[in-house]
């Protein structure tokens, strides 16, 4: 078994039962597979957002072949396809980026905790109401936080409590009181938990002072202590609560927006728009897109070498969202698809279903699926398949045969010329 290509064995239902859930016109579908759901949401995102390159995410081949790979736990995914890396806007990139950042943050918190640092989570918010543009509110949040870090009372308290730094994540929701941009901030200090709670109370006083005097609030509006939470994060549970606050995976995976009191996140608005496109939601989505442009979602305090202090030495350089989204995952190549074939699958908008069928039912079913969709692979030889128009090569579909590695094959065999 010298091949690096591995045959995918059928894992679930046969093709016939799979195709039962492929929507044909108005056929009712009980449940949309996740791979399909994400792709559809992405299509909707690409339609509604002004940033058009999002439409190429997960579709544009970046090399001559797109490889279908399999992770150690049997999940299949595509490799050699460009990702947009727009963590604010793109459902799949948001998921990848937030997972990556959550893992890094978790190890950062564990390292700080091992070194005796105490942590609390606070949620600085601002009064908000229907009709205020998101940009104005978002600017107020950001400027107020900057003012907080430069505040004299804060500077004095920092020394007293042994303040180490902040990790700040931004969340934006939209509810009955309009846009609600707010922060989830981890406060790191060397003092005891009781003391840290006092410090967090003081931070609220300073914060509300800054916001209330900003001159940007409507008459009579004030920061509310009720909306400002202080909660310990030293426990695993506390940490996972924190991560869940901005871990968008959960809400997308659930497939529908939860009507929570805190309002809808952008991906919930996107899902609502996907199911029922309204002019109002479209406006909200585009306003959100403009307001978040070039903004960071998660930041660590820069002062005092804070980030490096609790980050493993071996950790690589700080990655951009784009880097994370385009990172190569470890996985076993199972199938190589030429760019022309891949483009056909993309054009027919069946990538999600193709991958889903491949995942649950294996290569043979995935091939049958392509045939049903009008893509006609003709087998020539045992380990190469051609279409009638143009060419593509695939790893052999026959599961019983030992697989001939496509790379080895290509070394000895020139590619056929395209028309």
Q: Give the interface with Zn ion as residue ranges (CB under 5 A).
A: 57, 83-84, 90, 93
As measured in angstroms, the least distance from the Cβ of 322 to Zn ion is: 9
| Minimum CB distance to Zn ion smaller for 84 or for 211 | 84
Length of the chain as a residue count: 419
In three-state form (DSSP H/G/I as H, E/B as E, the rest C), the secondary structure along 214-263 is CCCCCCCCCCCCCCCCEEECCCHHHHHHHHHHHCCHHHHHCCCCCCCCCC
| Minimum CB distance to Zn ion smaller for 26 or for 328 | 328
| Minimum CB distance to Zn ion smaller for 97 or for 211 | 97
3 state DSSP class of 292: helix
What is the crossing angle of helices 266-275 and 34-48, to 10°? 90
As measured in angstroms, the least distance from the Cβ of 220 to Zn ion is: 43
Contact (CB, 8 A) for 294 and 142:
no
Angle at CA 137, nearest 5°, toward 135 and 138?
65
Contact (CB, 8 A) for 370 and 354:
yes
| Minimum CB distance to Zn ion smaller for 84 or for 233 | 84
As measured in angstroms, the least distance from the Cβ of 295 to Zn ion is: 17
**Of all helices (H) and strands (E), which one includes residue 300?**
strand 298-300
Q: Which of 300, 246, 336 is nearest to 61 (CA)?
A: 336
Distance CA 209, CA 221 (A): 12
As measured in angstroms, the least distance from the Cβ of 42 to Zn ion is: 7
As measured in angstroms, the least distance from the Cβ of 346 to Zn ion is: 14
As measured in angstroms, the least distance from the Cβ of 292 to Zn ion is: 14
Contact (CB, 8 A) for 163 and 188:
yes
Distance CA 248, CA 226 (A): 25
Neighbours of 98 (CB within 10 A): 21
| Minimum CB distance to Zn ion smaller for 52 or for 411 | 52
As measured in angstroms, the least distance from the Cβ of 131 to Zn ion is: 31
| Minimum CB distance to Zn ion smaller for 54 or for 185 | 54
**Of all helices (H) and strands (E), which one includes residue 377?**
strand 377-379
Contact (CB, 8 A) for 331 and 189:
no
| Minimum CB distance to Zn ion smaller for 39 or for 184 | 39
| Minimum CB distance to Zn ion smaller for 38 or for 386 | 38
Q: What is the dihedral of CA 357, 363, 366, 370, to 10 degrees?
A: 160
| Minimum CB distance to Zn ion smaller for 90 or for 252 | 90
As measured in angstroms, the least distance from the Cβ of 228 to Zn ion is: 34
Distance CA 75, CA 290 (A): 35
- Burial of residue 309, with CB atoms counted within 10 A of its CB: 0-12 exposed, 13-18 middle, 19 or more buried: middle
As measured in angstroms, the least distance from the Cβ of 87 to Zn ion is: 8
């Amino acid at each position: 078994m010298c091949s690096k290509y591995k045959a995918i064995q059928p894992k679930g239902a046969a093709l016939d039962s799979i195709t039962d859930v492929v929507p044909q016109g108005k056929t009712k579908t009980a449940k949309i597979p996740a791979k399909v759901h994400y792709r559809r949401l992405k299509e909707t995102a690409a339609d509604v957002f002004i940033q058009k390159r999002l439409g190429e995410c997960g579709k544009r081949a970046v090399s001559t072949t797109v490889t279908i790979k399999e992770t150690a736990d049997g999940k299949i995914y595509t490799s050699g396809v460009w990702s947009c890396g727009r963590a604010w806007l793109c459902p799949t990139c948001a998921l990848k980026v937030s997972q990556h950042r959550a893992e890094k943050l978790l190890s950062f918190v564990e390292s700080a905790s091992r070194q005796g640092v105490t942590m609390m989570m606070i949620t600085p918010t601002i009064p908000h109401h229907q009709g205020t543009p998101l940009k104005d509110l978002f600017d107020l949040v950001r400027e107020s936080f900057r003012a907080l870090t430069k505040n004299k009372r804060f500077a004095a308290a920092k020394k007293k409590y042994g303040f180490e730094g902040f990790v700040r994540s931004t969340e934006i929701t939209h509810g009955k009181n309009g846009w609600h941009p707010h922060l989830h901030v981890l406060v790191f200090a060397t003092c005891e938990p009781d003391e840290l709670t006092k410090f967090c109370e003081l931070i609220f006083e300073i914060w509300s002072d800054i916001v209330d005097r900003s001159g940007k609030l409507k008459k009579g509006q004030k920061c509310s202590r009720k909306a400002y939470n202080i909660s310990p994060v030293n426990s695993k549970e506390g940490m996972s609560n924190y991560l869940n606050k901005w871990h968008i995976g959960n809400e997308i995976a659930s497939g529908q927006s939860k009507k929570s009191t805190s309002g809808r996140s952008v991906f919930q608005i996107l899902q609502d728009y996907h199911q029922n496109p309204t002019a109002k939601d479209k406006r909200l989505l585009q306003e959100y897109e403009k307001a978040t442009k070039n903004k960071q979602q998660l930041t660590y305090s820069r002062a005092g070498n804070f980030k490096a202090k609790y980050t493993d030495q071996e950790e690589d350089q700080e990655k951009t969202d784009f880097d994370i989204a385009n990172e190569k995952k470890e996985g076993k190549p199972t199938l190589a698809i030429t760019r022309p074939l891949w483009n056909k699958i993309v054009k027919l908008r069946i990538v999600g279903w193709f991958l889903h069928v491949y995942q649950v039912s294996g290569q043979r079913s995935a091939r049958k699926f392509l045939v049903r969709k009008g893509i006609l692979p003709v087998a020539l030889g045992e380990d190469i398949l051609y279409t009638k128009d143009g060419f593509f090569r695939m790893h052999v579909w026959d599961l019983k045969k030992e697989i001939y590695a496509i790379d080895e094959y290509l070394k000895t065999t020139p590619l056929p010329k395209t028309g």
